[in-house]
Amino acid sequence: MEKIKKIVRDGYAKAVKQATSCCSSGSCCSGISQAKIMSKTVGYSDAEINAVPEGANLGFGCGNPVALASLKEGDVVLDLGSGAGFDAFLAAKRVGKTGRVIGVDMTPEMIAKAKENAKKGKYCNVEFRLGEIEKLPVEDSSIDVIISNCVINLSPDKETVFNEAHRVLKPNGRLMVSDLVLAKELPSAIKKSVEAYVGCLAGAIKKGEYLELINMAGFKDVKIISESSYPVDAMFDTLEAAQDAVVSIKVSAIKR
């Protein structure tokens, strides 16, 4: 597990320094324009893309959890794997001055970038904390809504992630995540690929297993809001074997 976490941490530290989008090597896509293209592909509007400080959107998402979360004024929101702050900043506008957004990320470089972006955008209701999603630096029963965008599949211990999410949510708190799951098994070469891990593929599990872990953590009303095949070719130029194996899902659940 620690080896996997180090691979992911190092990959994203490199990515934020290079401002690459999706590809840890930077060979197939890079720059602000590519990040915007990827974001539009997975459901963000032009207004959302242009509403955040430049550098906050690195194009890493596989969906738009903020659009699903039905956030309201005064909500306390937790963003798992907040990266450079894209979703956290969008959420901040929805919860208003009486609400609050907490972003958690395990990569120091991402936290530094997010804090820089928050200062640049003058966000007073957003904070970023260094930590792992398997051990959240957040108090019990303190969160109204958890969002996450293509991050939980990176964890080698998803069961603990969902248990932690359940712990920090208030009773009847909502889990609203976008993530990648498998429709069929990936070739072993891809499972072992460092590039595929950083790009969210190698850690993905079967859809049924993913939903069962949420149920086991104590959530109710677990359901898929939408799902679609994910354009793997937009992330990598050498993983044709993964086509049709990866699905992007948007999942909602409520804490019992």
pLDDT single digits (tens) 74-130: 999 999 999 889 899 999 999 999 999 999 999 999 999 999 999 999 999 999 999
Token pair recorded at residue 112: 């530094």
What is the C-alpha to C-alpha distance for residues 132 and 84, in angstroms, rounded to an integer?
Answer: 15
- Average model confidence (pLDDT) across the chain: 81
Dihedrals phi, psi of 104, to nearest 5 degrees: -120, 130
| Least reliable range by pLDDT among 122-131, 188-197, 216-225 | 188-197
pLDDT score at 79: 96
Residue 31 phi, psi dihedral angles, 5° rounding = 90, 165
With 50 as the cut, is the pLDDT of residue 159 above it? yes
- Which DSSP helix (H) or strand (E) runs through 181? strand 169-182
- 31 against 153, higher pLDDT: 153
Distance between CA atoms of residues 94 and 125, nearest Å: 11
Residue 31: per-residue pLDDT: 47
| Distance (Å, whole) CA 126 – CA 88 | 7
Cite the DSSP H helix spans in the chain: 2-18, 31-41, 46-50, 65-68, 86-95, 108-121, 158-168, 188-191, 194-198, 207-216, 232-235
Phi, psi of 38 (to 5 degrees): -60, -40
Predicted TM-score (pTM) of this structure:
0.81
Of the CA atoms within 13 Å of residue 12, those in its CB half-sphere come to 28
pLDDT of residue 145: 97
Average pLDDT over residues 166-177: 97
Domains of the chain in sequence order: 2-255 (3.40.50.150)
Asked if residues 19 and 57 have their Cβ atoms less than 8 Å apart, the reply is no
Residue 72 has pLDDT above 80, yes or no: yes
pLDDT band at 246 (very low <50, low <70, confident <90, very high): confident
Type of residue found at 217: A
Residue-wise pLDDT for 15-57, tens only, equals 776 654 444 333 334 444 565 556 555 556 666 656 555 655 5
Contact between residue 68 and residue 225 where contact means Cβ atoms under 8 Å apart: yes
- CA dist 195 and 11 (Å) reads 8
CA distance 141 to 212: 22
Between 244 and 123, the higher pLDDT residue: 123
Provide the 3-class DSSP secondary structure of residue 220: strand
Which residue would you say has higher pLDDT here, 12 or 110? 110
